[in-house]
Amino acid sequence: MTHRASLVLAVLVLACQNPQNAGPPAAKSGPEVKTTEPPAKTDPHAANPHAGNPHAMGPHAGDAPGTETSRPAREAVNPHPVTPSGKTREEAVPGLNYKVPEEWTKKPGSSAMRLAEFTLPGPGGDAELAVYRFAGGGGDAKSNVHRWRTQFTKADGTPLGDSDGEVQEVSKPPLKVTLVDLTGTYVAQVTPGAAERYKDPNFRMLAAIVEGAGDPYFFKAVGPETTLAVWKPTFTTFADALTVVP
């Protein structure tokens, strides 16, 4: 036997004694592959049609039919009889001087647009008056009167019409003053664009729009009808004490 044949025979003998070395490892039943299943795709709008959409309700949601909610009617705050003394005091906002009854309590304006605020006492409970001025104007008198009418309904729930309430224009050059008197159930939005509304029966608004001194001023009092009835004469003569500050 040749030397080469002897080597081949020796390898075969060893392979028989150690079958695990006879060839490459037997293949396993399948490769072990670690995979990460991608999460199932879901429709982000399936459970909540407005999920993640900050504009779903819209900026005027409170005006959309079927989306409004109403607060319970507010309770009267500090109701007591008041007899106006007829005394007034000077008040001022930038660009305009005016007078208010001594009985009105002044508070700091609660925002940049509110130049001043007052509490008006009376038998129906406190009413609130705010003095506004909006950069750029805030709309003409006719548009604001129309908007204020939409903030009231009649006893049967129908909105005020264009002929409801009192609107009077007073000329005091260079000023034009529009006086407004509205009564009904107060249903204004709690905040602009909100779905929640007030629902205060027997409420009243006394307001004055002052034009002719740059951006118009808005004097707007809202509260129980019986309280603002006490202060109606003040608004009737409101324009008399207005003076423009150069």
Both tokens of 115, joined, read 């130049």
Overall fold of domain 89-244: Protein Transport Mog1p; Chain A (3.40.1000)
* Calpha distance 230→242 (Å, rounded): 21
Query: Under a CB-based contact definition with an 8 Å cutoff, are residues 209 and 180 in contact?
Result: yes
Q: Is the pLDDT of residue 158 over 50?
A: yes
pLDDT of residue 67: 61
Strands 200-211 and 217-224, by their bridges, are antiparallel
Q: Is the pLDDT of residue 37 over 80?
A: no
Query: Is the previous residue joined to 233 through a cis bond, with omega within 30 degrees of 0?
Result: no
15 compared with 214, residue with greater pLDDT: 214
Buried b (16+ CB within 10 A) or exposed e, 20-58: eeeeeeeeeeeeeeeeeeeeeeeeeeeeeeeeeeeeeee
DSSP state of 172: E
Average pLDDT over residues 205-221: 95
* Calpha distance 193→191 (Å, rounded): 6
Per-residue pLDDT tens for 102-154? Answer: 999 999 877 778 999 999 999 999 999 999 998 887 888 999 999 999 999 99
How many residues appear in the chain?
246
Per-residue pLDDT tens for 48-72? Answer: 322 232 222 222 233 333 467 887 8
Domain boundaries, the chain: 89-244
195 compared with 148, residue with greater pLDDT: 148
Only one residue has tokens 């029966």, namely 201
Percentage with pLDDT > 70 across the chain: 73
How many C-beta atoms lie closer than 10 Å to residue 10's C-beta? 10
3-class secondary structure per residue, 124-147:
CCCEEEEEEECCCCCCCHHHHHHH
Q: Report residue 47's pLDDT band, with 50, 70 and 90 as the boundaries.
A: very low
Only one residue has tokens 């293949």, namely 27
